[in-house]
């Protein structure tokens, strides 16, 4: 019994309890196996907190220096993979405080938790950790966008069919297609940046839920830890996980955009299209069919979008029924967030590699172009002759039907046949049947003309740099 009591009393909350913890319950409750990745954030928060304790007169200058020295040694042990985890280390906070007291002694180490709860401590650690990971995600997303934009600028010549409903619609430039996906990722970049102020809200100093009674200087804590603002309500501060939900929602939408890009590349790299060829570095073969080259990188990008969305939906269900302030349900925030952050990090870097190394098959793109893609240009031709668009649309449709009936391209129709369709057709109808001319006429903002592609490139680079 004495051993059981000793085991329980070693826990931060152990003084209240006289019985031992069921070993299964201890394992069920323990989060160190995954929250240990926040060790640096926990040490950073603790060092800042020791400075607030010094200002409040809770510790002396010598004790604060010793706390800092010990915490840095704890961080070094984690960094060098030398930290020895004990059986009763529940989480990263318990483990770090236990080891700190072993290094500098309980008389000083035991003062660190004065006016602090694991409730505000874990919320602070997660925000510190996520701010760093958000900055890393921003860099990865900027790198992907930079590759997409550079390829678009350098590869303006190729023209391919643009699709709606997966049916050939109108000719567009390859660069226009690539920038269409870059536009979605640029919006994701803006959303990511806009989240930072909502992540960067300091909970530390809120204690368990009712604030601390020592007059700790929370403005000092904010400055030390680099937060943009301070949580104004202690009850809300310890329980707020909206920043986790928002990050997961952002990641889900970004991965949906990733999935759509991946789907296009899967289709375009198939033998039936052949518009692009994926690098061997991002493809795999078949165990039974030696001719196969599978776009596994893109398939995994597409598949992992569902994984990230699932993490978001799962945590929202954990969050929805929790009563006010901190409840242990909130421990379920870490695994989905950590997994989503890891998945997003890998996905962005893989996508960058896929885009950087794929080969554009402009000849295959050109071969897929057919004159029926210029049916809208025929209608536009008549509009310029003064014919109302609704009438020109009907006339152009009749020209397509006639060509289908004759089993020829609409460009092969005779002048007499064009005249039968409308008296407004003249010999210059032949000028319509040029794909380069078609895309260059679409020179309004947002179009596929070269000047507009360059405009999109320039604006994208400004947005990547945070200037728009």
Q: Per residue in 402-432, pLDDT tens?
A: 999 999 999 999 999 999 999 999 999 999 9
Question: 78 and 122 in one domain?
Answer: no
Among residues 367, 393, 409, the one where a domain terminates is: 367
Q: Is 341 part of a structural domain of the chain?
A: yes
Convert the pLDDT of each residue in 199-246 to its tens digit: 999 999 999 999 999 999 999 999 999 999 999 999 999 999 999 999
| Nearest by Cα to 136 from 335, 341, 338, 352 | 341
Looking at residue 359, which CATH number applies to its domain?
Answer: 1.20.200.10
Question: 340 and 276 in one domain?
Answer: yes
Question: 381 and 359 in one domain?
Answer: no
Among residues 336, 367, 398, the one where a domain terminates is: 367
Question: 437 and 344 in one domain?
Answer: no
Give the total number of structural domains in the chain.
3
Looking at residue 435, which CATH number applies to its domain?
Answer: 1.10.40.30
Question: 378 and 329 in one domain?
Answer: no
Between CA 11 and CA 18, with CA 12 as vertex, the angle to 5 degrees is: 55
Q: Is 256 part of a structural domain of the chain?
A: yes
Q: Is 353 part of a structural domain of the chain?
A: yes
For residue 9, the model assigns a pLDDT of 45
181 catalytic residue (yes or no): no
Convert the pLDDT of each residue in 261-275 to its tens digit: 999 999 999 999 999
Question: 195 and 315 in one domain?
Answer: yes
Q: Is 226 part of a structural domain of the chain?
A: no
Convert the pLDDT of each residue in 317-356 to its tens digit: 999 999 999 999 999 999 999 999 999 999 999 999 999 9
Among residues 367, 394, 415, the one where a domain terminates is: 367
Q: Is 222 part of a structural domain of the chain?
A: no
269 catalytic residue (yes or no): no
Convert the pLDDT of each residue in 33-45 to its tens digit: 889 999 999 999 9
Q: Is 362 part of a structural domain of the chain?
A: yes
The catalytic position among 286, 287, 297, 370 is 286
Cα 47 to Cα 331: distance, rounded to the nearest angstrom: 23
**Cα dihedral 252, 256, 258, 259 in deg (nearest 10):** 130
Question: 124 and 95 in one domain?
Answer: no
The catalytic position among 165, 176, 229, 411 is 165
Question: 312 and 443 in one domain?
Answer: no
Looking at residue 59, which CATH number applies to its domain?
Answer: 1.10.275.10
From residue 468, give the alpha-carbon distance in Å to each of 159, 186, 193: 29, 11, 12
Question: 321 and 414 in one domain?
Answer: no
Question: 298 and 330 in one domain?
Answer: yes
Which domain, by its residues, includes 378? 371-455
User: How many CB atoms are closer than 10 A to CB 134?
Assistant: 20
pLDDT at 15 over 90: no
Question: 414 and 356 in one domain?
Answer: no
Residue 174 φ then ψ, to 5°: -55, -40
Question: 71 and 26 in one domain?
Answer: yes
Q: Is 468 part of a structural domain of the chain?
A: no
Q: Is 223 part of a structural domain of the chain?
A: no
């Amino acid at each position: 019994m004495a051993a059981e009591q000793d085991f329980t009393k070693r826990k931060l909350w152990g003084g209240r309890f006289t019985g031992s913890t069921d070993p299964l319950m201890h394992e069920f409750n323990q989060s160190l196996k995954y929250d240990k990745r926040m060790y640096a954030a926990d040490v950073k928060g603790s060092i800042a907190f020791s400075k607030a304790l010094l200002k409040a007169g809770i510790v002396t200058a010598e004790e604060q220096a010793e706390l800092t020295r010990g915490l840095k040694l704890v961080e070094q042990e984690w960094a060098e993979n030398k930290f020895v985890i004990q059986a009763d280390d529940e989480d990263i906070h318990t483990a770090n405080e236990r080891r700190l007291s072993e290094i500098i002694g309980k008389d000083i180490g035991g003062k660190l938790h004065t006016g602090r709860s694991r409730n505000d401590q874990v919320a602070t650690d997660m925000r510190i950790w996520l701010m760093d990971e958000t900055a890393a995600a921003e860099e990865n997303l900027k790198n992907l966008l930079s590759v997409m934009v550079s390829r678009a600028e350098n590869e303006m010549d190729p023209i391919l069919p643009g699709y709606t409903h997966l049916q050939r619609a109108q000719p567009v430039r390859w660069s226009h297609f690539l920038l269409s996906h870059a536009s979605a990722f640029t919006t994701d970049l803006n959303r990511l940046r806009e989240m930072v102020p909502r992540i960067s809200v300091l909970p530390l100093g809120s204690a368990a839920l009712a604030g601390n009674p020592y007059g700790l200087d929370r403005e000092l804590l904010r400055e030390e830890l680099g937060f943009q603002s301070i949580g104004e309500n202690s009850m809300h501060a310890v329980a707020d996980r909206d920043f986790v939900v928002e990050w997961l929602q952002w990641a889900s939408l970004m991965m949906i955009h990733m999935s759509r890009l991946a789907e296009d590349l899967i289709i375009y790299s198939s033998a039936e299209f052949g518009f692009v060829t994926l690098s061997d570095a991002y493809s795999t073969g078949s165990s039974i069919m030696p001719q196969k080259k599978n776009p596994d990188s893109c398939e995994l990008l597409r598949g992992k979008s569902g994984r990230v969305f699932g993490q978001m939906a799962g945590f929202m269900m954990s969050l929805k029924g929790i009563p006010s302030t901190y409840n242990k349900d909130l421990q379920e925030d870490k695994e989905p967030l950590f997994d989503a952050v890891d998945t997003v990090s890998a996905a962005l870097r893989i996508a960058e590699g896929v885009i950087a190394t794929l080969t554009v098959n402009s000849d295959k793109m050109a071969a897929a172009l057919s004159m029926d893609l210029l049916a809208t240009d025929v209608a536009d031709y008549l509009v310029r002759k003064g014919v109302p668009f609704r009438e020109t649309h009907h006339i152009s449709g009749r020209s397509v039907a006639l060509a289908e009936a004759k089993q020829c391209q609409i460009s092969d129709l005779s002048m007499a046949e064009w005249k039968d369709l409308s008296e407004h057709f003249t010999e210059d109808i032949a000028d319509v049947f040029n794909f380069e001319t078609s895309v260059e006429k679409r020179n309004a903002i947002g179009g596929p003309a070269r000047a507009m592609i360059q405009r999109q490139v320039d604006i994208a680079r400004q947005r990547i740099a945070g200037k728009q």
